[in-house]
Chain A
């Protein structure tokens, strides 16, 4: 879908600012520079008990720069685009570089590595910006109403909110790259609350979101599901401490895949902040596990047509049938590790760093329900809490909520327990993967099963 004319005009204006800024930096004698200029607008509404709580609407813009001067790096940002202010700002950035130390590895991609053409990934929905406050409020109210009406045991709601944002950005580098991009996103969240024994409340949260408004699920379905989740947790208790098979539903599974993502980016690897450092070409997971990073998913939440340094991007099999095949590398981390860059830089206009785009665990064949089969006693995890992960060692332990699994079926709700195992062992213990992958988030996973983890409870 072609972008609206107004957006192209904004992009022209941003490209002009970026190009002029680069010229000024060249005149100041820098070795290299990248400029990222962006502008966007957002609307956020919140309702609770059918009443409006918040309407927030604003436009914002910003310019970020990285300069390399005599091998020294500085970064800065501003929202003041007046030509005289920009001139002062750029001169200061160059001055600031003197504080750094020469870094032989801080070099841009060679001009040959810069991409000249890229595909349109269909990331901009012209309908997004047209959603006004009144319509947004209606959507939120209907989501909340569906939750409140779903069941008499839903006593209140923490509200529902709808947000939309759209943004344009231009990345320009002194190596000659000029990339324009624009994207939109919208989401609706409903939070239903049910009262439980002993003054406890159970909150159920559900949401929908995407780059295109037309792809959102209906507010009523979101509200009903939020209510169902709150009710399902009523009466939750701890379960006895022990070792059990664990099934992570797709939401909880995503959190685990996010930890893997944080350990395959080049920055973590060269800083020794990844237990996967030095493991290329070796088995890091069970043979049914493959992790993919794909920047080119049309309408993908984490999609990008070029990377933060202007390199070509491609789909990468990070882990293939259990074997670690590639890290995700920007120019700097690739040089540090003596590997080839993979076009995985983000953060143009700041210090570029390696990052995932759309990172996911490849789905298997069976349904999520089939994962429960054959489990005599185990835990089905629907939600995790806390930050219990040490990337250097892979040690993992987080708070968990979910349901007991008994004789292959879901049973009593469980809360206030932890699930623990080193991530390296956990990935090797994955013995079944379901087919319910969806690209709602930039890190995504289908439900999967782990042969055994330690549950700490009563």
Chain B
């Protein structure tokens, strides 16, 4: 087991160590070039990404992959306008060219001088990793997949096929801004996925499981590959007995954990400040107003140890904090990047994120959570005469402007007379964000953070996010099944 401990504190990225390391003086020159025609501020985003991946198909490691991607993005901001360019190397001439291209946004203004750069001392990481998975030797990584594969197959003879994959990433970023910030962050990420196909007679059904986050090898001590294998097999087997879901409006009980994607879709996106700055969100001008049932408190918390959405520092160099979005049903605030914070005259909340150095920043969620309530989860299910118990999801989507959201279940059950009944297939839930949150009538005391699986897409950019919530009862949602 080879783990490079030095990576923890120093970093291996060429822009922080070695002959190509970016010193404050070079950074200053690049920022001066970027602001040569004026502008409110400029920043540099250096990124280094080393990955190692494996895919196993039907018990065979079909391919090993991996590589290094590196570059720097240069941004110049004038009001709410942004000039952006990037270079895929640390060659000073290429970086300078990118700075010049980005500077074109500020046409013929007076040059602005960046503030002297003060490298920021690092605080304690919320995702320290002692033994990175990316450095674990190949055979040991294969063994992790093999364990998952074996567990899924061994779970039941009806499991006919298992596929699994493992991705490990070591990412480092360095943000330098024209207002003097210079900050470095090491961002590990791992993800295991297992999917299983079960067959009985002519009927085939699939199930999947996965997890990870900003963890090292130790993740698998807590949640074993076997656990993911068995979980994938369990869902596939349950679906063999599933029957058509009902269609119509009824109460829905959301199971703890993964149901947090409801929050992410139903309210999260609408509270990203760019949509509100543009007045295109259905939460525009709603701060201080009641937007949900008094039982609902929603936070976006970037500081959860090891969670997939966590950040020590955002992609604009801002140290993020927990933000309370909805407290007791009242809307308290939006999530800001620097541009929207400036527009609303707020402090940036540390929500500026981007997919890579090839992309511009936007306000994004980190880990979006609903706080636990008082109810016993068993009482919540017992309170439903006829409805749906929603457990696992394949994904969701929201229309920001009208607040309509939809999400698709991969595991769900009918609730009849307060008891869980038959598993259902093809369940889709559709609703309106504010309407759904207003009809939350019970909130459990059983908060669960979802194991890291979710990737959020916005304007063509994907970033990892976390979600979590307790058991929640929504009095009315539309269930899109086929049985009328």
Contact = CB atoms under 8 A, between A and B. Distances in A.
Contacts of B199: 272
Contacts of B427: 397
B248 interface: yes
Interface in A24-66: 48, 51-58, 60-61, 66
A457 B428 CA distance: 12
Given A271-B57, A385-B406, A57 B64 contact: no
Nearest to B394: A387
Contacts of B141: 99
Given A74-B65, A99-B142, A201-B280, A420 B406 contact: no
Contacts of B63: 66, 73-75, 100, 351
B280 A80 contact: no
Interface in B273-306: 278-282, 284, 286
B406 A399 contact: yes
B315 interface: no
Interface in B420-476: 425-428, 430-432, 434
Interface in A125-171: 133, 155-156, 158-159
A78 B404 contact: no
B204 interface: yes
Interface in B302-350: none
Contact of B431 (A133, A395, A416, A454): A416
Contact of B138 (A57, A96, A199): A96
Contacts of A158: 278, 280, 401
A420 B278 CA distance: 34
B67 interface: yes
B482 A454 contact: yes
Nearest to B73: A58
Contacts of B479: 456
Interface residues on A, range: 35 or more
Could you say which interface size class chain B belongs to?
35 or more
Given A201-B282, A456-B430, A74 B88 contact: no
B406 A272 contact: no
B396 A386 contact: yes
Given A51-B81, A100-B64, A272-B161, A156 B280 contact: yes
B13 interface: no
B105 interface: yes
Contacts of B79: 51
Contacts of B434: 199
Interface in A356-391: 385-390
B67 A58 contact: no
Main secondary structure of the interface of B (DSSP, over half): strand
Nearest to A156: B279
Interface in B47-104: 54, 57, 60-71, 79-86, 88-89, 98, 101, 104
B97 to A, nearest CB: 9
* Residue among B141, B284, B480 with the highest chain A CB neighbour number at 10 A: B480
A427 to B, nearest CB: 15
Contacts of B400: 203
A9 to B, nearest CB: 20
Given A193-B401, A415-B404, A456-B479, A56 B161 contact: no
B484 interface: yes
Contacts of A60: 86, 88, 358
Nearest to A420: B482
Nearest to B289: A199
Nearest to B203: A393
Contacts of A385: 397, 399, 404-406, 430
A390 B64 CA distance: 28
A97 interface: yes
Contacts of A386: 395-397, 406-408, 428, 430
B433 to A, nearest CB: 10
A56 B85 contact: yes
A241 B98 CA distance: 55
B139 interface: yes
22 contacts: A51-B81, A54-B360, A58-B101, A77-B67, A77-B69, A80-B68, A99-B142, A100-B61, A101-B142, A199-B282, A199-B284, A201-B281, A203-B399, A241-B248, A386-B397, A390-B206, A416-B431, A420-B481, A420-B482, A422-B482, A454-B481, A455-B247
Interface of B: 54, 57, 60-71, 79-86, 88-89, 98, 101, 104-105, 138-139, 141-142, 160-161, 163, 197, 199, 204-206, 245, 247-249, 278-282, 284, 286, 358, 360, 394-397, 399-408, 410, 425-428, 430-432, 434, 478-484
Given A385-B397, A388-B480, A418-B428, 19 more contacts: A53-B82, A58-B101, A75-B64, A75-B65, A76-B67, A80-B70, A96-B138, A99-B64, A156-B279, A236-B402, A241-B249, A386-B395, A386-B406, A388-B406, A393-B425, A395-B426, A399-B428, A401-B404, A418-B430
The 6 lowest CB-CB distance pairs between A and B, nearest first, are: A418-B480, A99-B138, A399-B406, A386-B406, A395-B426, A201-B401
